[in-house]
Amino acid sequence: MKKNHQDLFTEIDELSIEQKIGMTLMVGISGHFPDKTIYKRMENQHIASYILFQKNTPDIETTISLTNELQNMADKLGLPPLLIAIDQEHGRVSRIKKGITRLPASYGLGRLNNPQYVYNASYIAGRELRALGININFAPVADINTNPKNPIIGTRSFGENPVRVSEMVRQSVKGYKDAGVICSAKHFPGHGDVAIDSHIDLPVSEKSLEELQKVELLPFKASISESVPMIMTAHISYPKIDSNYPATLSPLILTELLRNDMGYDGVIISDDLEMKALRHCGEITDLAIKMINAGCDMLIISENLTQDVSVDEIYKALLKAVQDQIISTDHLDQSIKRILSLRKNLLKQNNYPLNIIRKSESVQASYQMMREVFLENPDSEHFPVSCDPDRLCIISDVEELVSICPDINTRRLLLKENQSKEKILSILETSDEIFIFLLRLSYLEIFENIYWQANQNIRFFSLNNPYIQSKIKLKLASYINLYAECLPMKAFDDLLFKL
């Protein structure tokens, strides 16, 4: 007789070592459908957690088809419902870009200092993800944007104020939980005060534990007070806390600090093992064993960045480590109990119908938040509120940005392939205030050879594409690296310049 989902894998004693190891891994998918590799991993390695990226989610139709196929495959193999995760922070890091409710990035909401808005945004995002078959969102970002040279956090953070960020993180966790989505505060113990991207190399923070307690750890404590179900680690070295290992590999940081001192008993999940921050720390199979022993319950292997990290090799290494008692059975079982608890709580939640996506009330709520971020925030000096509308122009290659705040009576131009340069010039020549919101690098060439008049006030916003920052060669009245629909950071003021 086939078991019900509630009965599957609920008794830890019924699980084999192979099944337990499979539960500790979360892996990526190559395309728009689960291929033979995924089937073999489910069948032979019992891997029941998957992470989606933009390559998997070009639109909502493809996304729902993929998640349905994954769950159907698991059901046929007698596995419990899968954990399917995504990084949908909104703003710079948004894997699903089409068909969902577009929400402000965290930094914009943080500038508004309205906790209810953060709750609302997380609740809307959570319900839409559940409707798409996604039950884990790696959000909110609990990092504090304390270093203006930080290349990876920036506007993904709620801001620079630890107390304000803590309240925003708490409300975000509450919103996701009420929507029935497992959320994950990240990146513990804090990624905001480094100057290196951990995708590229290992960042080092010289902060002491006492300094972290006063700033970086506050949002994580807030998330724990709201019973955050998952916390993601940071691939960052804190030599004043652990001189041997970065956070993801450190028992001092994950077990002594997070588990024992801060009292966290939810699931600890690693950041992606493919990130280059780990490349000088040792063989990745050895590192995976150390991560589990350090306190990680689950490991992410995205096969999305370099595909140099082998899921199969890590699975074999972990299995042998348990068999050889390098990873104790008791230690592994503690992780499995947390993962099983996560799954049981997930089964209590209801899925949502697809028609909940972009419901009119959600779109209206997002519009109100967006409008305040752009127009009504008292800190804003970067969007016009009193400019002559006849002399104002908004240009973008993103339709939603061209049509933002429709009650502003101004000219708008949506950039398209084979756009007439003459048309662009005719609009620019008669505009005093020009706002350019650009997502695609391919449109840069249009603007690089334009002669800008001395009296023109031009503001350039790069959207969700950090590479534009290094490519742009325009002489603008001001340059703002925005990354998302939110106000620029005060920390970026040194990037502003005059003609």
Residues labelled catalytic: 271
116: number of Cβ within 10 Å: 10
Rounded Cα gap, residues 155 and 480, in angstroms: 12
Cα separations in angstroms, 485 against 191, 203, 366, 399, 403? 22, 27, 11, 13, 13
432 CB-near residues (< 8 Å, 6+ apart):
387, 388, 391, 392, 455, 456, 457
497 CB-near residues (< 8 Å, 6+ apart):
476, 478, 479
- Can you tell me which residue has the tokens 């008292």? 378
Q: To which H or E segment does residue 206 belong?
A: none
380 CB-near residues (< 8 Å, 6+ apart):
373, 374, 487
- Among the listed residues 328, 320, 255, the one whose alpha carbon sits nearest the alpha carbon of residue 286: 320
Which residues are paired to 88 by β-bridges? 94
Rounded Cα gap, residues 106 and 159, in angstroms: 8
CB 211 within 8 A of CB 279: no
- Among the listed residues 186, 215, 166, 190, the one whose alpha carbon sits nearest the alpha carbon of residue 85: 186
Q: Quote the distance between the C-alpha of residue 396 and its chain's center.
A: 24
Which residues are paired to 395 by β-bridges? 413, 436
The angle at the Cα of 360, spanning 359 to 364, to the nearest 5 degrees, equals 120
- Can you tell me which residue has the tokens 């590999």? 249
The angle at the Cα of 454, spanning 448 to 456, to the nearest 5 degrees, equals 75
Query: Percent helix, strand and coil across the chain, each rounded to 5?
Result: 45, 15, 45
Query: Which contacts of 442-447 are long-range, i.e. CB under 8 A and separated by 24 or more positions?
Result: 443/397, 443/415, 444/468, 444/471, 444/472, 444/473, 446/415, 446/419, 446/421, 447/474
